[in-house]
Structure 1
Amino acid sequence: MQTELNKVIAALRDFYAHEDFLFEKDIGERAVTHRFAVYLERQFSGWAVDCNYDRLGERTLHLPHGTIISTDDHLGKSIYPDVAVHQREIPNNLLTVEIRKASNHTPLEHDQHKLRALTDVHVWFPYWIGVLLVLDRQHVTMSEVYVSGAVDQAQSLWFAERLDEIGLGTAHKTAP
């Protein structure tokens, strides 16, 4: 798992090295997510990397009735992952990433619930790993790693420490 998480960290390093314009001009989250996916794709040779992918093989992606997340994308609260690293045809779901800008003031619980659902082995073909990233102009302000429908505290701590080591974690905050 740490091999895959190291690839996410490498993508973040490259993203921050080249995409400061997005934060300088306060570009929207969907554009930030897309640009991050470009760098993530370079790390996952042989895998498809898609934004807002809404399929499981041939089926449209839906959560069971009664969940708190809507599958109506017009509400902006879809279950579709921000970024998916997967094999489309099988389906084989390796990694999903939810990205938020630190300036986003909507409740964080939506993304957390979404990652619990996307990694829950009892719901469908789950993603093996889920990552929540809250990004500001110079670093990751918060991160969580999800496995089997829950936050994996040990992996989350390891991930945050690795971000700190390369200067992208909260231990290395600098003034804007």
Structure 2
Amino acid sequence: MQTELNKVIAALRDFYANETFLFEKDVGERAITHRFAVHLEKQFAGWSVDCNYDRLGERTLHLPHGSIISTDDHLGKSIYPDVAVHQREIPNNLLTVEIRKASNHTPLEHDRHKLRALTDVHVWFPYWIGVLLVLDRHHVTMSEVYVSATLDEAQSRWFASRLAGVGLAAP
């Protein structure tokens, strides 16, 4: 797992080195997410890296209605991952990343709930790892790692420490 998380860190380094314009112009989260995915794709040879991917193999992803998350994207409650590292045809889901700008003041609980659902081994083809990143113009202000539908506190501490160690987060 730490190998994959180190690849996320490498992608963040490239992202921050090359995408300052996005924060200077205060673009939306979807544009930031896309540009991060471009850098993440370089780290995961042999895997597909997609934004807002809504399929499970040949099937369209659908979840029960009436929950905090849904497949009704126009409601802004989509379960679709911001960034997915996966194999489209199988499906084989390795990593999902939820990205938020630090200036986004909506509660984090939606993204946390989404990551718990996306990594839940009892619901569908889960992602092995889920990562929540809150980004500001200079560094990651908050990060969490999810495994098996729960916040993995040990991996979250390790990941935050590594981010701080390479200058991508406050110590």
Please name the residue that 2:4 is paired with.
4
Quote how far apart the aligned CAs of 1:160 are: 0.2
- Does residue 30 of structure 1 match 2:30? yes
Counterpart of 1:88 in structure 2 is: 88
CA distance in 2, matches of 1:149, 1:168: 26
Alpha-carbon offset, residue 76 of structure 1: 1.7
CA deviations 1:68-105 (Å, max 9, x no partner) are 11210111210000000000000000000000000001
Structure 1 SS opposite 2:86: strand
Structure 1 segments, 4+ long, off by >3 Å, are none
Cα deviations across residues 21-60 of structure 1 (Å, max 9, x unaligned)? 1000000000000000000000000000000000000111
CA distance in structure 1 between the aligned counterparts of 2:37 and 2:149, rounded to whole angstroms: 23
Calculate the TM-score normalised by the size of structure 1.
0.95
Match of 2:102? 102
After TM superposition, the structure 1 = structure 2 runs for residues 36-115 of structure 1, keeping only pairs within 5 Å, are: 36-115=36-115
Distance 2:38 2:135 in 1: 16
Unaligned runs of 5+ in 2: none
**1:128 corresponding residue in structure 2:** 128
**Contact 1:142–1:170, Cα closer than 8 Å, also in 2:** no
Using the TM superposition, give the Cα deviation of residue 18 of structure 1 relative to its aligned residue in structure 2, in angstroms.
0.5
Shift of residue 65 of structure 1? 4.0
8 Å CA contact retained: 2:14, 2:39: yes
Distance in 1, matches of 2:2 and 2:159, equals 8
Q: Which residue of 1 aligns with 2:16?
A: 16
CA distance in 1, matches of 2:163, 2:57: 34
Q: How many matched pairs?
A: 171
Q: What's the secondary structure of 1:43's corresponding residue?
A: coil
CA contact (8 A) 2:92 2:125 kept: yes
Give the deviation of 1:67 after TM superposition.
2.5
What amino acid does structure 1 have at the position aligned with 2:30?
Answer: R
Aligned partners of 1:62 and 1:162: how far apart in 2?
Answer: 36
Show the counterpart of 1:161.
Answer: 161
Identity %: 87
Alpha carbon RMSD of aligned pairs, Å?
Answer: 0.8
Unaligned runs of 5+ in 1: 172-176
Q: What is the TM-score when the length of structure 2 is the normalising length?
A: 0.98
